[in-house]
Chain A
Amino acid sequence: MGVTFSVLLMEDSGVVMPVSADVLRVLSATDSEPVVLFCCGAVRFLDSLLASPQQPIEDVLTEDEIIRWSTIIKAEHQLVILFSTEQRGEHCLYVQRFNPNTLMKHRFETEPGFSAPINFSATCRGSNIHLLYLYLNGSVYESVLPFRSSSTGAEVVQALSRSLCLSLPLGEEKLMSGAAVVLDEAHVAVVGFPHPSAGACKDYLCIWNTHFQTLQACKEMAGRIYSQLWCYSGKLYVPHGKMLSVIPFDCQKSSLAAAMGKQKQTSQSAECSFVTSWTSQSCTDVTQTTEIKSRMSTRNNIKSALTVDQLIQHIKTSAVEDVQAEVGEFIRRTPQADLQLAAGRVALELVSRSQTDANFYPQCAFLLLLETRYLCYSVCPELLSLAMVKKDFHLCQIAFQIFSDIPEAVTCACLKTILSTPDLEMETVNLDTDSVIFMKELTRAQSRSDEEGGQLNGFCPPALESDVSDTPSNKLQRDPLALDTSCPVGLHKGALLNEVLQTAYSDRSLLPHLKDLTVPQVIVFLQYLRFLYFKYSHDAHKQIRALRTPSISQIIDWVCLLLDAHFTVLAVAPEAKRLVFDLHKFVRSQVKLYAELGKIEGSLQVLKNSKQSEDFGMYAIHVIELF
């Protein structure tokens, strides 16, 4: 914009300025003097050039060196001009600084096959310039240049130190161009590269998080994208087809939680939170190794190992059994690094076939893919809803255990399905045995303690005694334990609900979706939560050894959320009255108990503190150090 404007002005005023060398570009940054960049690499301020147009212009570049890209950066009242050149396949970056005038030359490290960076984006952060550049193989590198030159003009041309900050996935088609632009320190917008799971169509604007190597957002652009992209003041400008789209964007503070879905619970054990993003592996490595691998395998055993592409072709056509066998074989034979990339593609393909072909549902293949733990919700979002549609609760359960990035809306939809499915139907489903055993033990511990006729921890809530007058029902009903001798849901449903309770969520996003539950569903769920809460309060679960159990705080959080979401319903619905009343009574007694415990804790703390006082007797020789 600035460039054309200044040229027009000059033409309007009719001033023609013959200068002694070819001008390449006039660069200007806001609130600073425009700078003229000559084809030969020399740089002059426009004002000084206008003052004496015929001044000699030195040749900075060699004869056949051509400037490919240039930009100007301004920060701290300091201007820096960057331009890259090409000379017989060798690419260099020049950094021109002013006051004092210094010119630094750096050489871009070459990569066999992809010698030239195809796109540059430079930003200023702190006292450094961050230069991001993109290669056709999908590698995005970052180089950091100091804003103020520190070297005293050592004439050795050094290779530009760089770090790989992103490896973009490549589609099947050979790419010719692409563009990347830095949005902030963690986000990069890319056009011209295919969406990782949308297949061959490459007309996508993708925003990548470089910290976590995740795809943050994407937008399909109608028509062909011209591999051009600009970013000015919070808006992205993308020419595509016959349009220029202006897309305002907002980069939120990136965190792992935001990148991976909301990871609220911190107590998740390592086994279930292991999710790796498939992009963390460099794409070049993968393609190279697969090539070698396939060559090797052709020599050894022609029949067995399929490449990903072959497998995907097979999935499109073969029968369920064959597909399942092939997927199993593929997972068994493919090296872990390759599998990370391939699992997502295979799963996507399987899901899309299942969605179109009603008879095609390779459950075993899905389970095998899940077991690789390379899948996550974002890689294959349709999988969970497909499982729900097919009422494949086993798959759901495994997915809940493995995926840590399930959106709250999906969690709620699953919860709804689970609650609305009749217990009878549920009992036939084959579920993870560990979880079912937990439920069995939980209900058994109950009946056992009833048989013994005593409470396990000997706690008698004091509040209940005082409430005798206002509850004229019989004695059995006053005891919250006796109220709920049985689990309100079947074992399998309970096991599935436990999985839901352990998913990660953020309550603000969950709350609106939770409102979708119907009143009977809410009451059943709340009854179940109350059942768990009572159980946990009586320490029954401590005797059960199980790998995954909801924690007491998870249960209480869900109770709070449910009460919050359905407050009015629970206040009005007659069938909820008893439930809420009992829950309240129990909570009140617990609060009293904890208040008492707090007092004991205070006393014990005093005892502990009094013991802690340093006691070394009457004499000691210490060593102290002062700094």
Chain B
Amino acid sequence: MGEFKVHRVRFFDYMPSGIRALAFNRDTERMAVARMDGSVEIFHCSDRFFQEKIIPGREQCGIEGLSWVGERLFSAGLNGGITEYDLTNQKVKYTIDAYGGPIWTITGNQQGTHLAVGCEDGTVKLFEVNEDKIQFERNLDRQKSRIVSLSWHPSGSKIAAGMMDMIQIFNVETGHSIHRMLADRGVGTSRSKECVVWSVVYLSDGTIVSGDSVGMVKLWDDQTGTLIKSHNVTKCDVLALSVSQNEDSLVAGTSEGTVVQFQFVSMVLGKDDNEWVRTRTFKNHTHDIRAVAEITTAVVSGGMDAQLVVKPLLDKIEVRSAASALRKIHFPHRRLVFCARKSGLMLFQYPGHLELWRLGESEGKGIPGSSLFVKRNPEKLLHLKVKGEDHIRCSAVSPCGEWIVYSTASSLRLYRLHCDNNNVSITKISKLPKVLSSANQLCFSSDSSHLFSASTQSSVHIVSLSQSGCKFVGTLKPKSGSHQAIHLLAASEDGEWLASANSDHEVHIYNLQTRKAHCTVPVYSSAVTAMGIHATTNCLFMMYADQQMCEYSIEQKQYTDWSRTVQRKGLHRLWMERDTPCLNVMFNPQNPSHVILHDTYMLCIIDQSLPLPDDKTQFYNQLTLKSLTEEQRKSHSHAFKVCKTFKDILCVELISDQSLVVVERPLEDVATQLPAPIKQKKFAT
């Protein structure tokens, strides 16, 4: 069917940042994840954990806690400020200082009226949540040591606070401490070290659960202030606790990388005197677990090893499906690599800088499966540091390789690249039009003459680029609908059409000649993860988070016949069970029926001229086909040609000389760059 030359790139040193905090919103089924670099991500738990929104972080902003209040998200960190996020436009809404030194924890009450933060200076500060802001209300009785963890009683009348060596229970009304419970220090040498109560959970029946640095999960009675029971979970620290909604299950994350589950079950069958019993242990992390959250059917955990692990609780799952499989999310669901197709350049987006590389060249031809002699090694042309403290939100390189653009939350910068032989220089384009102050997504037209910048309210600004500079041309606005930020842009090859997708699953198509909205693709229940406009047919090919695919004819404003056939026949089971979203859609100019897709584990070419596989067909059939003759292949081949040669793929791009660029980031390489985990005795070491 086809031979491809593949540039296999592994020099993109992308390092995911460790996970610091998790907050689950049961009403919207969204999981908020805060990372060490200050970024906040929103995952949609019922849409295959698609990473819907990313709010980039900034230097020196260590988030320590996250809390939902209704549909509003707040964070607090060691810089002493409380931040509210604008989730519609995916940026920080405001930050106010709590004036209590570094903040270790933040939590909102169930009523949605107040936020409590625990500060380094020993105060628990209450903030009233107003319509558009939060307002400091008062301090609870100040303590001698820092407040490490907080938990509201579901009634909102009491707060439990974990501190150094003790737990305090406050009456919210009076602000006075009701009980003081001392946590034991460890035995032996650790006797001299303080016991840090890393996490507390206040249950509605008055039980307080604490996890501490001695490795104990302890249960306390808030009436008497006494210890009910203690479980020694680990020799290291218990860093995080989370309780299920109906308070029958509790998970604890440890610095050994294990998650321990406790369940509230009766010890004698049929009797009602339930007890907390340690039931299961999961080990899916190599490093400290800094945050756990028990959601409806699974335990989500994250920590220093930067992966988000979704471990389904099989006793809560009725049907085995893709949702019931263990899911590990290593890489962002956005593109971090962009290729200048016509000039063989690659742009790597790091949080604080951009790198521009030129691909190497090969010599001679090779048989399939071989590697070619590399005549010229790839070369780093540019290292562009971001001005200011904000991290990069999005970036792009033009297909001709002449323009580079990036945007942070506060600024957008456009550069012109001059490449003559070995001298590379860039000039910053000054005097940008005012509309280009910041962008949610950036994209160049295929002839590199225009820049599209996704802005607030789902609008797209068009800027024309020329030798002299750039000029604002117009703004594309959707006819109606949501104002969610755009996360995907796709321009057609002929410069006629532009498609935009936002996090409300809306896909708008604009006519670039008239600069008017052309049509809207019917909204599907799952998020668009990748899309592309076909070069010759002008059909928009979309991939969704639930692994469905659609092809929409822009000119006819309807789904194509092929797309309808796919929907009618359904996709193969093995295709649907993949657990990473497709992140790029490309088209093979030499064969218009070929659509090239990729996810983290595979590269796939869909040949629309071939029959679709049904569930009886062997789906991964490349090895079988390889062993057959040309004649026999015809009867055995189907539309999905999956290549599993590559793994941990960040990006696949087809460049203009028909070769593919595959950017891999092997997880082993990531693991070697992580800090050392807690030392544990392993067998045979």
Q: Are B622 and A621 in contact (CB under 8 A)?
A: no
Taking the nearest CB of chain A, how far is it from the CB of B565, in angstroms? 22
**Interface residue from B362, B369, B684 paired with A621 (Cβ < 8 Å):** B362
Which of A80-88, A145-153, A611-619 is the contact stretch? A611-619
Q: Are B1 and A626 in contact (CB under 8 A)?
A: yes
Tell me the complex Cα distance, A622–B371, Å.
4
- Residues 634-682 of B at the A interface (beta carbon under 8 Å): 637, 641, 643, 645, 659, 668
Number of inter-chain CB pairs below 8 Å: 78
Write out the residue numbers on chain A whose beta carbons fall within 8 Å of the beta carbon of B378: 619
Q: Are A621 and B360 in contact (CB under 8 A)?
A: yes
Q: Mark A597-609, 1 if CB is under 8 A from B, else 0.
A: 0000001000000
Q: Are A618 and B369 in contact (CB under 8 A)?
A: no
Q: Are B6 and A622 in contact (CB under 8 A)?
A: yes
Q: Are B370 and A623 in contact (CB under 8 A)?
A: yes
Q: Are A627 and B10 in contact (CB under 8 A)?
A: no
Taking the nearest CB of chain B, how far is it from the CB of A340, in angstroms? 39
Question: Does any Cβ of B come within 8 Å of A624's Cβ?
Answer: yes
**A618-B11 contact in complex given A603-B684, A626-B2, C-beta closer than 8 Å:** yes
Q: Are A623 and B369 in contact (CB under 8 A)?
A: yes
**A626-B6 contact in complex given A621-B360, A621-B374, C-beta closer than 8 Å:** no
- Residues 593-652 of B at the A interface (beta carbon under 8 Å): 605, 622, 625-626, 633, 637, 641, 643, 645
Tell me the complex Cα distance, A627–B668, Å.
30
Q: Are A623 and B622 in contact (CB under 8 A)?
A: no
Smallest CB-CB separation from B2: which chain A residue? Answer: A626
Write out the residue numbers on chain B whose beta carbons fall within 8 Å of the beta carbon of A624: 3-4, 6, 368-369, 643, 645
**A622-B370 contact in complex given A603-B684, A616-B8, C-beta closer than 8 Å:** yes
Q: Are B368 and A623 in contact (CB under 8 A)?
A: yes
Question: Does any Cβ of A come within 8 Å of B91's Cβ?
Answer: no
Q: Are B372 and A621 in contact (CB under 8 A)?
A: yes
Question: Does any Cβ of B come within 8 Å of A15's Cβ?
Answer: no
Question: Does any Cβ of A come within 8 Å of B270's Cβ?
Answer: no
**Interface residue from A619, A621, A623, A627 paired with B637 (Cβ < 8 Å):** A627
Tell me the complex Cα distance, A370–B7, Å.
66
Q: Are B10 and A619 in contact (CB under 8 A)?
A: yes
Tell me the complex Cα distance, A624–B645, Å.
9
Tell me the complex Cα distance, A624–B374, Å.
16
Smallest CB-CB separation from B605: which chain A residue? Answer: A626
Question: Does any Cβ of B come within 8 Å of A7's Cβ?
Answer: no
Question: Does any Cβ of B come within 8 Å of A425's Cβ?
Answer: no
**A616-B368 contact in complex given A621-B362, A623-B3, A624-B645, C-beta closer than 8 Å:** no
Smallest CB-CB separation from B365: which chain A residue? Answer: A623
Tell me the complex Cα distance, A617–B369, Å.
17
Question: Does any Cβ of A come within 8 Å of B5's Cβ?
Answer: yes
Question: Does any Cβ of B come within 8 Å of A620's Cβ?
Answer: yes
Tell me the complex Cα distance, A246–B8, Å.
75
Q: Are A627 and B626 in contact (CB under 8 A)?
A: yes
Q: Are B6 and A623 in contact (CB under 8 A)?
A: yes
Question: Does any Cβ of A come within 8 Å of B181's Cβ?
Answer: no
Q: Are B377 and A619 in contact (CB under 8 A)?
A: yes
Q: Are B7 and A619 in contact (CB under 8 A)?
A: yes
Q: Are A625 and B374 in contact (CB under 8 A)?
A: no
**Interface residue from B9, B370, B625 paired with A619 (Cβ < 8 Å):** B9
Taking the nearest CB of chain A, how far is it from the CB of B669, in angstroms? 10
Tell me the complex Cα distance, A621–B367, Å.
12
Write out the residue numbers on chain B whose beta carbons fall within 8 Å of the beta carbon of A623: 3-6, 365-372
> Binding site of B, secondary structure by majority: helix, strand, loop or mixed?
mixed
**Interface residue from A618, A621, A626 paired with B371 (Cβ < 8 Å):** A621
Q: Are A625 and B360 in contact (CB under 8 A)?
A: no
- Residues 111-160 of A at the B interface (beta carbon under 8 Å): none
Q: Are B372 and A619 in contact (CB under 8 A)?
A: no
Write out the residue numbers on chain A whose beta carbons fall within 8 Å of the beta carbon of B645: 622, 624
Write out the residue numbers on chain A whose beta carbons fall within 8 Å of the beta carbon of B633: 627
Taking the nearest CB of chain B, how far is it from the CB of A611, in angstroms? 13
Q: Are A619 and B641 in contact (CB under 8 A)?
A: no
Taking the nearest CB of chain A, how far is it from the CB of B187, in angstroms? 35
Tell me the complex Cα distance, A621–B370, Å.
9
Write out the residue numbers on chain A whose beta carbons fall within 8 Å of the beta carbon of B626: 625, 627
Q: Which of A620, A621, A625 has the most CB of B within 10 A?
A: A621
Taking the nearest CB of chain B, how far is it from the CB of A232, in angstroms? 41
Taking the nearest CB of chain B, how far is it from the CB of A548, in angstroms? 39
Taking the nearest CB of chain B, how far is it from the CB of A607, in angstroms? 11
Q: Mark A191-206, 1 if CB is under 8 A from B, else 0.
A: 0000000000000000
**A620-B371 contact in complex given A603-B684, A626-B605, A627-B625, C-beta closer than 8 Å:** yes
Q: Mark A521-549, 1 if CB is under 8 A from B, else 0.
A: 00000000000000000000000000000
Q: Are A620 and B369 in contact (CB under 8 A)?
A: no
Write out the residue numbers on chain A whose beta carbons fall within 8 Å of the beta carbon of B3: 623-625
Taking the nearest CB of chain A, how far is it from the CB of B393, in angstroms? 27
Taking the nearest CB of chain B, how far is it from the CB of A615, in angstroms? 10
Write out the residue numbers on chain A whose beta carbons fall within 8 Å of the beta carbon of B372: 621-623
Q: Are B4 and A626 in contact (CB under 8 A)?
A: yes
Q: Are A622 and B641 in contact (CB under 8 A)?
A: no
Taking the nearest CB of chain A, how far is it from the CB of B502, in angstroms? 34
Taking the nearest CB of chain B, how far is it from the CB of A462, in angstroms? 20
Smallest CB-CB separation from B645: which chain A residue? Answer: A624
Taking the nearest CB of chain B, how far is it from the CB of A73, in angstroms? 31
Tell me the complex Cα distance, A535–B377, Å.
60
Smallest CB-CB separation from A606: which chain B residue? Answer: B684
**A617-B605 contact in complex given A626-B1, A626-B622, A627-B1, C-beta closer than 8 Å:** no
Smallest CB-CB separation from A602: which chain B residue? Answer: B684
Write out the residue numbers on chain A whose beta carbons fall within 8 Å of the beta carbon of B365: 623
Tell me the complex Cα distance, A625–B633, Å.
14
Write out the residue numbers on chain B whose beta carbons fall within 8 Å of the beta carbon of A613: 668
- Residues 348-380 of B at the A interface (beta carbon under 8 Å): 360, 362, 365-372, 374, 377-378
Q: Are B374 and A620 in contact (CB under 8 A)?
A: yes
Q: Are B11 and A626 in contact (CB under 8 A)?
A: no
Tell me the complex Cα distance, A616–B666, Å.
12
Write out the residue numbers on chain A whose beta carbons fall within 8 Å of the beta carbon of B369: 622-625
Write out the residue numbers on chain B whose beta carbons fall within 8 Å of the beta carbon of A603: 684
Tell me the complex Cα distance, A544–B167, Å.
79
Taking the nearest CB of chain A, how far is it from the CB of B685, in angstroms? 11
Q: Are A621 and B4 in contact (CB under 8 A)?
A: no
Q: Are A619 and B1 in contact (CB under 8 A)?
A: no
Write out the residue numbers on chain A whose beta carbons fall within 8 Å of the beta carbon of B7: 619, 621
Q: Are B622 and A622 in contact (CB under 8 A)?
A: no
Taking the nearest CB of chain B, how far is it from the CB of A621, in angstroms? 4
Tell me the complex Cα distance, A617–B8, Å.
10
Taking the nearest CB of chain A, how far is it from the CB of B10, in angstroms? 5
Taking the nearest CB of chain A, how far is it from the CB of B664, in angstroms? 10
Tell me the complex Cα distance, A619–B633, Å.
33
Taking the nearest CB of chain A, how far is it from the CB of B513, in angstroms? 37
Tell me the complex Cα distance, A627–B625, Å.
6
Tell me the complex Cα distance, A625–B378, Å.
23
Smallest CB-CB separation from A618: which chain B residue? Answer: B11
Q: Are A627 and B6 in contact (CB under 8 A)?
A: no
Smallest CB-CB separation from B4: which chain A residue? Answer: A624
Write out the residue numbers on chain A whose beta carbons fall within 8 Å of the beta carbon of B637: 627
Write out the residue numbers on chain B whose beta carbons fall within 8 Å of the beta carbon of A627: 1, 622, 625-626, 633, 637, 641
Taking the nearest CB of chain B, how far is it from the CB of A610, in angstroms? 10
Write out the residue numbers on chain A whose beta carbons fall within 8 Å of the beta carbon of B368: 623-625
Write out the residue numbers on chain B whose beta carbons fall within 8 Å of the beta carbon of A626: 1-2, 4, 605, 622, 641, 643
Q: 7 tightest A-B contacts by CB? A: A625-B368, A627-B625, A621-B362, A618-B11, A621-B372, A623-B366, A626-B641
Q: Which residues of B contact A (CB under 8 A)?
A: 1-11, 360, 362, 365-372, 374, 377-378, 605, 622, 625-626, 633, 637, 641, 643, 645, 659, 668, 684
A-B contact pairs, 20 of them (CB 8 A): A616-B8, A616-B371, A618-B10, A619-B8, A619-B9, A619-B378, A620-B371, A621-B360, A622-B371, A622-B645, A623-B5, A624-B4, A624-B643, A624-B645, A625-B368, A625-B626, A626-B2, A626-B4, A626-B605, A627-B625
Q: A619-B9, A620-B374, A622-B369 are in contact. List 4 more A-B contacts (CB 8 A).
A: A613-B668, A616-B8, A623-B365, A626-B1
